Chains A and B, each alone.
Chain A
Amino acid sequence: DTGVSQDPRHKITKRGQNVTFRCDPISEHNRLYWYRQTLGQGPEFLTYFQNEAQLEKSRLLSDRFSAERPKGSFSTLEIQRTEQGDSAMYLCASSPIGQKGYEQYFGPGTRLTVT
């Protein structure tokens, strides 16, 4: 069990560019979550997958954001036409279905800086 991994760890991009982040959950974890954490704030929920199905999206997830989880394994989060307000830490978490489903395991995050 290698834990949740995220790639890249840091990303600097210019306003207007597109970026894509990857999350590899703990193997056999059916649930996958994306959160966004801005400076001085707690993480905020963005979206949730159960296997490959995206079942919940926050209103924070504007049309410029899209997330996928093909085949129910890794997930990607894409931000199109980045804005300076998108600068944040993007966290991924996974959890199993069942009795331990409440316990989310977080990755190290991807820190995005939009210049």
Chain B
Amino acid sequence: AQSVTQLDSQVPVFEEAPVELRCNYSSSVSVYLFWYVQYPNQGLQLLLKYLSGSTLVKGINGFEAEFNKSQTSFHLRKPSVHISDTAEYFCAVSLNTGFQKLVFGTGTRLLVSP
């Protein structure tokens, strides 16, 4: 079975500062990796994904993430955050075969203040 750990439940940061949200996963087989963002009272929106190939993936809104197989990590980064980035961020994995249910972490709330 797959599992995802997001150790930071909340990350406060000032506007225009860099941020890193941590994600570690566990799986005995190959997986796809995702980051989703959830704004208040809304569904989840896909930020970026890692399927294969280059370990550095770029997503929407200036976010990027790096897949590290040896450390089983997929940390999300942004060099300069905006107030509008305040939201809940979820890391997720799915198998890369068959139907692909997502297994989510518990989420990290990013709080950007002026």
Interface residue ranges, A against B (CB under 8 Å): 4, 31, 33, 35, 40-45, 48, 50, 55-56, 91, 93, 95, 101-109
Contact = CB atoms under 8 A, between A and B. Distances in A.
Contacts of B36: 106
B106 A106 contact: no
Contact of B99 (A44, A48, A105): A48
A102 B107 contact: no
Given A103-B46, A108-B42, A109-B43, A43 B102 contact: yes
B99 A102 contact: no
A102 B100 contact: yes
Nearest to A49: B99
24 contacts: A33-B101, A33-B102, A35-B102, A40-B106, A40-B107, A41-B107, A42-B92, A42-B104, A42-B107, A43-B102, A43-B104, A45-B102, A48-B99, A55-B99, A93-B102, A95-B100, A102-B51, A102-B94, A102-B100, A103-B49, A104-B100, A106-B43, A106-B44, A107-B43
Interface residues of B, number: 25
Given A42-B107, A102-B51, A103-B49, A48 B43 contact: no
A95 B36 CA distance: 15
A106 B100 contact: no
Nearest 6 A-B pairs (CB), nearest first?
A42-B104, A106-B43, A106-B44, A45-B101, A108-B43, A42-B90
A102 B51 CA distance: 9
Interface in B22-48: 32, 36, 41-46
Interface string B1-38: 00010000100000000000000000000001000100
A103 B103 CA distance: 13
Contacts of A48: 99, 101
B113 interface: no
B96 interface: yes
A75 B65 CA distance: 34
